[in-house]
């Protein structure tokens, strides 16, 4: 008998390795993977490139107009090596959306109600047939409140900052300090959990995963077992 297809929501704090585990699970079970953080990052990149962000101020009127006109088209494209890259208006922007320039202001863009509304609509369309692993902040609470499997990932701020710091170094960024990354992680936590629009919170029926001291392999296995228990129930 074929296993039933479900919706898998993986939410949690930034740099908890949500996308790594969500991607691994999606590949293992043959589901589509959607990185919703990448979508907010792509909108941020668009806003920066079009000079719609000045310091902490966003030209919301202009941004809204661009979204309405369909000037900000975000898709995901699979690569030959089985990965997926974020595409903004036909161009691969994966590298740019992960930069500190974008990381520093993405929370501001993600806190705007009309931006969230537009992204949530796209995400619901992407997952309408189930068989999807979606990671973000509000997937289990807002995008798919009826998801059959919900995980809330967390880890200490220091562990998360170290992971992001190692990632930046691996990508050749030799100037950003650990303290700067830690500050960015802490500040984003604060903005993400205190914003008015869909603040980051754990869904009541989510299973908490604190992976401060878990290996990636153990975490992947834990997730897979949870998936099996949900499709068999």
Widest Cα–Cα separation across the chain: 56
Question: Shortest approach of ligand DC to residue 30 CB, angstroms?
Answer: 23
Residues 138-167 touching ligand DC, rule: CB under 6 A, are 138
CB of 99 to ligand DC, least distance (A): 12
Structure tokens at 5: 């297809």
The yes or no reply on residue 192 touching ligand DC (CB under 6 A) is yes
Pairing status of strand 84-88 against strand 91-92: antiparallel
**Closest to ligand DC by CB, 1 or 204:** 204
Q: Which residue in 31, 40, 46, 152 binds ligand DC (CB under 6 A)? A: 40
Minimum distance from CB of 197 to ligand DC (Å)?
A: 8
Q: Which of 36, 84, 141, 219 binds ligand DC (CB under 6 A)?
A: 36
Q: Is there binding between residue 110 and ligand DC (CB under 6 A)?
A: yes
**Candidate residues 93, 106, 132, 203; the one interacting with ligand DC per rule CB under 6 A:** 106
| 29 versus 137: smaller Cβ distance to ligand DC | 137
Contacts 24+ apart (CB under 8 A), 67-74: 67/43, 67/114, 67/115, 67/118, 71/46, 72/42, 72/43, 72/46, 74/38, 74/39, 74/42, 74/43, 74/122
For 207, phi then psi, to 5°, come to -95, 130
Residue 202 bridge partners (DSSP): none
Q: With the CA atoms of 18, 20, 24 and 25 taken in that order, what torsion angle do they form, in degrees rounded to the nearest 10?
A: 0
Q: Other CB atoms closer than 10 Å to residue 192's CB: what's the count?
A: 20
Calculate helix-pair angle for 36-49, 60-69, nearest 10 degrees.
120
Of the candidate spans 36-44, 67-75, 82-90, 211-219, the one that interacts with ligand DC by CB under 6 A turns out to be: 36-44
The answer to the question of residue 41 lying near ligand DC (CB under 6 A) is yes
Question: Minimal distance in Å, beta carbon 188 to ligand DC?
Answer: 5
According to CB under 6 A, which residues from 204 to 223 bind ligand DC? none
Among 136, 149, 152, 168, binds ligand DC (CB under 6 A): 136
Q: Which two tokens stand for residue 223?
A: 């997730």
Residues that bind ligand DC (CB under 6 A): 14, 36-37, 40-41, 106-107, 110, 136-138, 188, 192
């Amino acid at each position: 008998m074929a296993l039933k297809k479900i919706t898998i929501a993986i939410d949690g704090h930034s740099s908890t390795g949500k996308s790594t585990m969500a991607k691994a699970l999606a590949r293992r079970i043959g589901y589509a993977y959607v990185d919703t953080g990448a979508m907010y990052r792509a909108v941020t990149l668009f806003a920066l490139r079009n000079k719609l962000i000045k310091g902490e101020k966003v030209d919301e009127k202009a941004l809204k107009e661009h979204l309405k006109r369909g000037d900000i088209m975000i898709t995901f494209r699979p690569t030959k090596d089985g990965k997926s890259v974020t595409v903004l208006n036909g161009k691969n922007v994966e590298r740019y959306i992960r930069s500190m320039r974008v990381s520093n202001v993405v929370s501001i863009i993600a806190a705007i109600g009309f931006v969230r509304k537009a992204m949530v609509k796209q995400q619901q369309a992407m997952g309408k047939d189930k068989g999807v692993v979606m990671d973000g902040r509000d997937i289990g609470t807002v995008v798919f409140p009826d998801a059959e499997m919900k995980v809330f990932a967390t880890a200490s701020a220091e562990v998360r900052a170290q992971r992001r710091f190692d990632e930046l170094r691996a990508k050749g960024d030799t100037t950003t300090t650990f303290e700067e990354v830690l500050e960015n992680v802490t500040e984003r936590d604060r903005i993400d959990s205190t914003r008015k629009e869909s603040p980051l919170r754990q869904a009541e029926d989510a299973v908490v995963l604190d992976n401060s001291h878990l290996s990636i392999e153990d975490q992947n296995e834990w997730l897979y077992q949870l998936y099996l228990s949900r499709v068999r129930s």
